[in-house]
Structure 1
Amino acid sequence: MSGLELRQVVKRFGATTVVEHLDLRIDEGEFVVLLGESGCGKSTTLRMIAGLESVTEGQIHIAGRDVTRVAPAKRDIAMVFQNYALYPHMDVAQNLSFALRLAGRSDSDIETLVNAAAKTLNIEKLLSRKPRELSGGQRQRVAIGRAIVREPEVFLFDEPLSNLDAKLRGHMRAELALLHERLGKTTVYVTHDQVEAMTLASRIVIFDKGRIQQIGTPAEVFSKPANLFVASFIGTPTMNLIPARVEVHDGALTLAGTGFQFHVPAARLQTALEAGRDITLGLRPQALQLTGGAHSLRLIVDVVEYLGTESVLVGRLATDPRVRLTVVAPGDCHALAHQTVGIGFDPQALHLFDTATTQRLGH
């Protein structure tokens, strides 16, 4: 059986714990993205999988084999680094073949594997060039090609697109997705860029402070964030979070905040909502419309960001200016800064979180 498994993995640097009791199973052929802010433990986790960092506690298994104390070269993995790590004095063909020569592969095998990788990545015409003669995107292709020729069990990517400009990042994302589809290899990819995560991943593993906050498909982590951290991290613009309390009015449960009161949506009546409980309401900016209605709020507009097909309104809740709100509206909405506008939403779009525990309420 192929794939990758981390069992109760801990990493400490002195008295500082940077990865805490990490359990993660990645099936054969999955493309799993480790996503989080800088310093959350995702790159350290990748380096432990690669064997570049030792494991303080726990075990790492690749293809059913315990590799926790195995040297990096014997783990059957290939890693693509952020800075490409190409040998400047070697041409592209020599960079691609270097690991194969170290492994004692025959000249005919090396030629076949290098040519196949070059064809896959469309760099056949670059084989005689040195890294300094290549663009950033071409260097990244060579770095990926160097991993491909080794035919590893697992591919590891450490922020491979972060040095590229926005247009080239988008192009390379598409190429990586097609490459994974063709090769079908188990892939672990580290990034802080949620667009990369959402567009590439079979599943996303969201990290914060050395702990996994949620594991799920892109659709799951976006539509059903497990807690307030995930809710505020996933999505652009980020989710609006509004403090409220569960109250009873006329025998019915309501969600009440400063200057507003909503009935609990019928779909949420089975959720454990008792009167007096402090909760946080979550609303995606895309779920808000410039309209009134039974479920409506008033927004004092501070800034209007016109983006062509849409406008992003940033402002404050009129009844509680401490609460910041963002609305994604049509580009021709004609809203102006310093206006007060009504905004409405479908009650089914509400996300509910327990304020004390930060955990999601209901399904």
Structure 2
Amino acid sequence: MAGLELNNVAKRFGDVTVVQQLDLSVHEGEFVVLLGESGCGKSTTLRMVAGLETVSEGQIRIAGRDVTALPPMSRDIAMVFQNYALYPHMDVAQNMSFALSLAGRPGSEVNAKVAAAAKVLNIEHLLKRKPKELSGGQRQRVAIGRAIVREPRVFLFDEPLSNLDAKLRGHMRAELALLHERLAKTTVYVTHDQIEAMTLADRIVIFDKGRIQQVGTPGEVFNRPATLFVAAFIGMPGMNLMPVRFVGHEGSGGLLRGDGFELPAPGWLRDRVTSPDQPLTVGIRPQALRIASGPASLNLQVDVVEYLGTESQVVGHLAVAGGARITATVQGDAHGLLHTTVGLTAGTEDMHVFDTASGQTLRP
């Protein structure tokens, strides 16, 4: 059963369309992350699900029930905001219980639910404190606890970790993963942080300019990007992208010829190219490039070496006039390569080829 369905959903502000004909189905108990750059429409989509923004077109269903026109309190959802949205004059217990008390639930039931949520989140010792007496991580736990006590059908998270420092974000990511495993609730989580998306999501929905570019597991969007946008957006460092043309050769898979380099073409590509003049873009992840022990496909003039402890990011440009900028990930400290020319190679299985005009992958 679908926990959440968006059918042909659009959002317009005047003449500006910020979400365009969105179709998405989230399974019951699934953790789905909406990922994209600022202004891509992901937070607006979440706010439409919550009922905080009206839908210009389309339908939203939660557990099979049409909630498109219902107010937020009637949708059986709970939302955790980026800025926590805690009442400063209430203590932790009062913040967590406010919605239940407002709904007229018996005091014994309210107290039991608050105590249970506080135990899950390890904030039992904070129940009498005010928000100003809490750290950022503690405030976020309280905001999550307030959502838990409502026992909603769907949890909504709007960049909940963006105000935390890097170390605390890592800790809270692990806590959120454990919490979802324990509660098994349908969850929609908005972020621009790839690490959050890759580590938390069952599936990732990648947005660009109000449209979905790809929906898939973390492995699928990383290993089989559907578009040039996804290829460039997913991965740290980003995928190396170079313009090429396909050159066919009898008895071989052919070549991908670029400015000052030639790469062996993947065997499946010949049947996917529609014209010898078709502009193509080949993508190779930095982790897939290897220093060549023999003939090299790419000759890289190394401009920068970033040593990260166990590996180095080697950044440079191809050794031709106006050569493309390339990043390769190599093991260990590679400072000895700085200001030298290094031969690189990659296997055809690691190559992604896109139609430059449409931006779509050519992989079968």
TM-score, normalised to structure 1's length? Answer: 0.97
Q: Report the CA distance between 1:254 and its aligned residue.
A: 1.7
Q: Rate the CA distance shift 1:273–1:260 in 2: closer, same or farther, 3 A.
A: farther
* Paired AA for residue 169 in structure 1: R
Look up the match of 1:91.
91
Bigger drift between 290-299 and 147-156 goes to 290-299
Q: 1:157 maps to what in 2?
A: 157
Q: Conserved in 2, the CA contact under 8 Å of 1:246 and 1:256?
A: yes
3-state SS of the aligned residue for 1:265?
coil
1:299-330, Cα deviation, whole Å (9 max, x unpaired):
01111111110110111111253411001111
What residue number does 1:32 align with?
Answer: 32
> Which stretch shows the higher mean deviation, 262-271 or 36-45?
262-271
Aligned-partner SS, 2:105? coil
Q: Which residue does 1:71 correspond to in 2?
A: 71
Corresponding residue for 2:131? 131
1:297 aligned residue: 298
Match of 1:358 in 2: 359
Match of 2:337, SS? Answer: coil
Inter-partner Cα distance in structure 2 for 1:357 and 1:292: 36
| Cα distance in 1 between the residues matched to 2:30 and 2:108 | 31
Residues 174 and 276 (structure 1), Cα distance of their counterparts in 2 relative to 1, 3 Å cut = same
One-letter amino acid matched to 1:331: G
Per the alignment, residue 307 of structure 2 pairs with 306
1:342 is aligned to 343
Three-state SS of the structure 2 residue aligned to 1:325 is strand
Secondary structure of the structure 2 residue equivalent to 1:206: strand
For 1:247 and 1:270, how far apart are their aligned partners in 2? Answer: 13
**What CA deviation, in whole Å up to 9, does each residue of 1:325-353 have, x standing for no partner?**
00111123343332111111122111110
Map 1:206-355 to 2 at 5 A. 206-249=206-249, 252=252, 253-272=254-273, 274-293=275-294, 296-355=297-356
Q: What amino acid maps onto 2:229 in structure 1?
A: F
Task: Give the residue type in structure 2 aligned to 1:311.
Answer: S
**Considering only aligned residues, what root-mean-square deviation do their CA atoms show, in Å?**
1.4
> Which stretch shifts more, 179-188 or 342-351?
342-351
Gapped regions of structure 1 (runs ≥ 5): none
Secondary structure in 2 matching 1:321: coil
% of aligned pairs identical? 68
Retained in 2: the 8 A contact 1:293–1:344?
no
Secondary structure class of the residue paired with 1:59: strand
How far apart, in 2, do the equivalents of 1:337 and 1:231 lie? Answer: 27
User: Superposition pairs for residues 184-203 of structure 1, below 5 Å?
Assistant: 184-203=184-203
Q: Is the 8 A contact 1:267 1:348 kept in 2?
A: no
Q: Matched residue of 1:3: which SS?
A: strand
Structure 1 match to 2:58: 58
Higher mean C-alpha displacement, 14-23 vs 254-263: 254-263
Q: Any runs of at least 4 consecutive aligned residues in structure 1 with deviations exceeding 3 A, and if so which? A: 249-252, 267-274, 292-295, 333-336
Contact 1:77 1:156 in 2 (8 A): yes
The count of corresponding residues between Structure 1 and Structure 2 is 363
Q: 1:96 to 1:216 in 2, by over 3 A?
A: same
The 2-side partners of 1:132 and 1:190 are apart by 26
Deviation at 1:260, TM superposition (A): 1.8
Relative to structure 1, is the Cα distance of residues 283 and 273 closer, same or farther in structure 2, using a 3 angstrom cutoff? farther
Quick one: distance in 2 between partners of 1:326 and 1:320? 18
Q: Which digits, 9 at most, give the CA deviation of each residue in 1:194-218, with x for residues without a partner?
A: 1000000000000000000000000
The aligned counterpart of 1:116 is: 116
Alpha-carbon deviations, 1:209-232, whole Å to 9, x = none? Answer: 000000000000000000100000
Specify whether residues 160 and 21 from structure 1 end up closer, same or farther in structure 2 by C-alpha distance, changes over 3 A only.
same
The 1:46/1:256 distance shift into structure 2, 3 A limit, reads same
Cα deviation code 1:155-211 (max 9, x no counterpart) = 000000000000000000000000000000000000000100000000000000000
Query: Which residue in the other structure is 1:174 paired with?
Result: 174
Aligned residue in 2 for 1:21? 21
What does residue 47 of structure 2 align with? 47
Whole-angstrom distance in 1 between the partners of 2:41 and 2:182: 30
